Amino acid sequence: METPMKSFLRAARRLAAAAATLAAVTAAGASVGNAEELAKNLFGAERLPAATAARSIGFYSKGCFAGGVAIATDGPSWQAMRLSRNRRWGHPVMINLIEKLSRDATADGWPGLLIGDISQPRGGPMLTGHASHQIGLDADIWFTPMPGRRLSAQERENMSAVSLVNEKTHLVKEKLWRPEHARLLKRAASYPEVERILVNPGIKKKLCDTVKGDRSWLRKVRPFWGHDYHFHIRIGCQPGSPGCKRQEATPASDGCDKSLAWWFTEEPWRPNKNPDAPKARDLMTMASLPKECRVVLSAPSPESEMAVTVGGNGTAVAAVSAPTEPATIDPSAALPVTANSFAPTPKIGIPMPRPRPHD
């Protein structure tokens, strides 16, 4: 028979255990409450850019930018897609380059550009999709040519781009590929500001097999997962952005070698061993980004979206408000070294990191 003392001790132990559990739950709740909000939520909530001098901060997949402008939803030779995402923003040099490409491509015989994602108003990690596109220097252009009419807002949300690549063979669909596609890519690669153009490996192979004469521009065209219905333009760090981390240069060769052959082995297409692992954007807080990005988030906005929207011929739709003095950037401050998912393709036999990176 249990004595009163043993009953008391057992009850005391239970009470102590319950108190410890309650304390742990309370502490956990406080920890969650005090945890820093994800950077993607903060940057994804911004509707307008930081009204300061234009500058990119950090790396393409880990940074932000200020002084951005938007490309108009409609131009003489372009239409912007997926308007609800509010990703028509970029560094002024990027926006002007897209506008120039649209004019030059039209002169080359392309009907006009359908513009995909560029960046959020202040860059930073996105709520969905890309790992890069964070510093205003990346842009996606659809391989689908612009139709001969203005698309409605609903069509721009729901219209599907057409893949040019067979997902089983990883080769171009010959019925869909046109010489005009190659001409468009060559035009984009011709600009000195452009450092890289990402395309599906099947498209890179098609270019390697068919381009005659000058092939020097092919070195800028890099194979990467996806990019079968759009190509990804990346320009380099611009003057006035000392905090922008440059990417290593592409190899001098045309890239039609063993590095391309690797993409047509089994290795790049093996199933992801950890498909449920969180993506970088789902873990990245403001502490993960360069400290200047806090200044970008807190900077004032321009008076309106129209004031910082670029129309045809690189002209503003309305007068831009006078920018405030930009925050001082310490050029000597070392930015975090990030994994470079757009580095030159590895030689055959070198495994790629998992999970697969996104553009």
pLDDT computed for residue 313 by the predictor: 67
| Phi, psi for residue 6 in degrees, rounded to 5 | -65, -40
> Which pTM was predicted?
0.79
Task: Specify the range with the lowest mean pLDDT, choosing from 215-224, 233-242, 294-303, 335-344.
Answer: 335-344
Q: What is the pLDDT of residues 193-246, one digit of tens each?
A: 999 999 999 999 999 999 999 999 999 999 999 999 999 999 999 999 999 999
Closest by Cα among 145, 151, 2, 17 to 74: 151
Torsion of CA 129, 203, 354, 278, to 10 degrees: 10
Residue 17 has pLDDT above 70, yes or no: no
In the chain, beta strands by DSSP E: 55-59, 62-66, 69-71, 74-75, 78-80, 89-90, 113-115, 138-142, 194-199, 221-223, 230-235, 309-310
Name the range with the highest mean pLDDT among 6-10, 294-298, 308-312, 320-324. 294-298
Residue 294 has pLDDT above 70, yes or no: yes
Mean pLDDT, rounded, of the chain: 83
Say how far apart CA 282 and CA 216 lie, in whole Å: 39
pLDDT computed for residue 277 by the predictor: 85
Residue 111 has pLDDT above 60, yes or no: yes
pLDDT computed for residue 339 by the predictor: 31
Comparing 288 with 282, the larger pLDDT belongs to: 288
The domains of the chain, with CATH numbers, are 50-246+332-359 (3.30.1380.10)
Say how far apart CA 59 and CA 44 lie, in whole Å: 18
The shares of helix, strand and coil residues in the chain, as percent rounded to the nearest 5, are: 35, 15, 55
Comparing 300 with 15, the larger pLDDT belongs to: 300
pLDDT band at 323 (very low <50, low <70, confident <90, very high): very low
